A = this chain, B = another copy of it.
Amino acid sequence: MLVVMNHDATAEHVARVVEVIEEMGYQARPMPGAQRTSVGLVGNDGRVDASPLESLAGVAEVIHVTKPYKQAAREWRQENTLVTIAPGVVFGGREIPIIAGPCSVESEHQIVLAAQQVRAAGASALRGGAFKPRSSPYSFQGLGMKGLELLALARRETGLPIVTEALDEEGAHRVAEVADLIQVGARNMQNYALLKTIGRLGKPVLLKRGMAATIVDLLMSAEYLLAEGNTQVILCERGIRSFDPSTRNLFDLTAIPLVQKLSHLPIIADPSHGTGLRDKVLPMGRAAIAAGADGLIVEVHPNPDRAMSDGGQTLFPEQFERLVVAARTIAAAIDRSITPGSGTRTAANG
């Protein structure tokens, strides 16, 4: 940490900064410059709270050199964390799993059909919302417990592991009984109470980036899960806010190599929310693989025109098939491969 003094800070100001740093239990190292003095704080273990320093007289700025996250950092753990959500479905390695399915679970027929279709096309996990965070209280809020039961049924029918979102503490416990991967949605990325609860459930977690979250914010939220002892965390880029209304969100694919450098946790991409436009999901899904994503999560519905939510960004099953084929070719081009779905495996075995 570096405390930069004002141009006109006095020797007393500097002495007081040194004193406060030493009271905090660290060493202070003043560094006079041509225009201003800075004071280095040495011995920082990454947990220093800068507040007492920022407000001292003569201080212009406090610059953080040490990263605020610890266990999420690549420096904490050099090798990639591998997150296994079902046998053969591993995030963070050479293989790239694809999660697919409808925005919401709507009926037994819909979710089982969707599961069969995405499995046949090459998905290795099924997504589907039972509890839905909707911006309007009057919109369809999901089937709730009934939705979880239908997801469990779809897993029995297809063998696909289940990815679904939890919105609150009570729901998190219910979701944990069914899901193989518990999703924390973008709107709840900084719902720390929920992160603490989910961090203790002992199940893999899919943490989606908030709409106004920096990469550091995302890693800090992951840190909440890790601090509860859960190391099975997958991050997800799904688009952030921007000034251009052309797309629902701004899909920030550079987040993928950024996270992979800063952290050992896997990061996947959601081109459905990332673009909000059905015809952009194919090119941007391909781009995500080329950028090095450790997985994809894609909205697919047997009949998007009849979907109860997010229809406009949801793929038809045949479009999803084309995406998987393209993803396989792109993955091969960078020496990786798409995780063979159980549909594929069954076919191969059959």
Contact = CB atoms under 8 A, between A and B. Distances in A.
A98 interface: no
Count of this chain's copies in the oligomeric assembly: 4
Nearest to A47: B138
A43 B33 contact: yes
Contacts of A275: 254
A77 interface: no
Contact of A258 (B63, B136, B214, B280): B280
B170 A169 contact: yes
A247 B237 CA distance: 15
B223 A137 contact: yes
A29 B2 CA distance: 13
Given A170-B169, A194-B168, A333-B332, A242 B246 contact: no
Nearest to A42: B33
A93 interface: no
Contacts of A240: 212, 242-244
A291 B258 CA distance: 19
Interface residues of A, number: 112
A54 B279 CA distance: 12
Contacts of A42: 31-34
Interface string A214-245: 11110010011001000000000000111111
Interface in A181-212: 187-188, 190-194, 210-212
A172 B114 CA distance: 39
Nearest to A75: B7
A94 interface: no
Interface centre among A220, A223, A257, A274 (most CB of B within 10 A): A257
Given A8-B75, A35-B75, A329-B333, 5 more contacts: A31-B31, A34-B45, A54-B312, A257-B284, A286-B291
Interface of A: 2, 4, 7-8, 29, 31-36, 38, 40, 42-47, 49-52, 54-56, 61, 63, 65-66, 68-70, 75, 133-140, 167-171, 187-188, 190-194, 210-212, 214-217, 220, 223-224, 227, 240-247, 250-254, 256-258, 261, 274-275, 278-280, 283-284, 286-292, 304-312, 314, 326, 329-330, 332-334
